[in-house]
Amino acid sequence: MRPELGRTAVILAGGLTQQSATELIHSGLIDLAAFGRPYISNPDLVARFRRGVPLTTSDPETFFGGGAVGYVDHPTAAEAPTNA
Ligand SMILES: Cc1cc2nc3c(=O)[nH]c(=O)nc-3n(C[C@H](O)[C@H](O)[C@H](O)COP(=O)(O)O)c2cc1C
């Protein structure tokens, strides 16, 4: 499929992890990886990927409607409480 696409970039989303996205890009199958749910619960997703910080799991119960809860109240890694 890639040759027919010419200079068109292939962007994939759906259940990707940092590892699977990296592998798909390195394999040449895709050009860019997109993230939906991980971004909802990790406003600093890129920083977490860069630093190897574990991701906060998103809550599907809060996804569609009902208010701002679940969208604007997930802490960044720097804001999250520690167990120390
Ligand atoms: C709450 C929520 C809202 C979404 N709204 C849209 C939307 O408006 N338009 C769209 O194209 N995709 C929308 N998506 C799909 C995401 O863009 C993405 O394709 C999907 O979540 C799969 O990627 P993920 O496994 O990284 O979450 C939405 C997903 C979620 C969870």
Measured CA angle at 16 (ends 14, 22), to 5 deg: 135
pLDDT of residue 79: 79
Predicted local distance difference test score (pLDDT) of residue 81: 67
pLDDT of residue 2: 75
- Using only C-alpha atoms, the chain has a radius of gyration, in whole angstroms, of 16
Q: Tell which residue, 67, 51, 11, has the closest CA to residue 77.
A: 51
Find out whether the beta carbon of 15 lies less than 6 Å from any atom of ligand 1.
yes
Task: Specify the residue for token string 């997703």.
Answer: 45
**In percent, how much of the chain has pLDDT > 70?**
94
Residue to mutate, 11, 32, 37, ligand 1, most ligand atoms under 8 Å from C-beta: 37
Contact between 39 and 58 under an 8 Å Cβ cutoff? The reply is no
Question: How is residue 82 written in tokens?
Answer: 């520690």
What are the pLDDT digits (tens) for 21-30?
A: 999 999 999 9
- In this predicted structure, the answer to whether residue 83 has a pLDDT above a threshold of 80 is no
